């Protein structure tokens, strides 16, 4: 492993930092909205699946009234 001086390390870090592209405000907003939408859709899906499975188990165990 080659050793580099702290000054050279700082230069390399700065060069890499300049390569980073940050998302725009619109991209951040759209991504956040999509995450919330997917959370809502997943919640509804699991609610429906849980209801069907619960109803099926209740029926199979003979607890249906």
DSSP state of 24: P
Rounded to the nearest integer, the mean pLDDT of the chain is 93
Backbone angles phi, psi at 44, to 5 degrees: -65, -45
pLDDT, position 65: 60
Query: Considering the entire predicted model, what is its pTM?
Result: 0.64
Cβ atoms of residues 31 and 23 within 8 Å: yes
Name the one residue in this structure whose structure tokens are 């849980």: 50
pLDDT, position 64: 63
pLDDT, position 62: 85
């Amino acid at each position: 492993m080659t050793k580099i001086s702290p000054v050279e390390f700082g230069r390399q870090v700065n060069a890499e930092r300049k390569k980073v592209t940050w998302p725009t405000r619109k991209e951040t907003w759209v991504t956040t909205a999509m995450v919330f939408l997917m959370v809502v859709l997943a919640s509804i899906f699991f609610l429906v699946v849980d209801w069907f499975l619960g109803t099926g188990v209740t029926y199979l165990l003979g607890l249906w009234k």
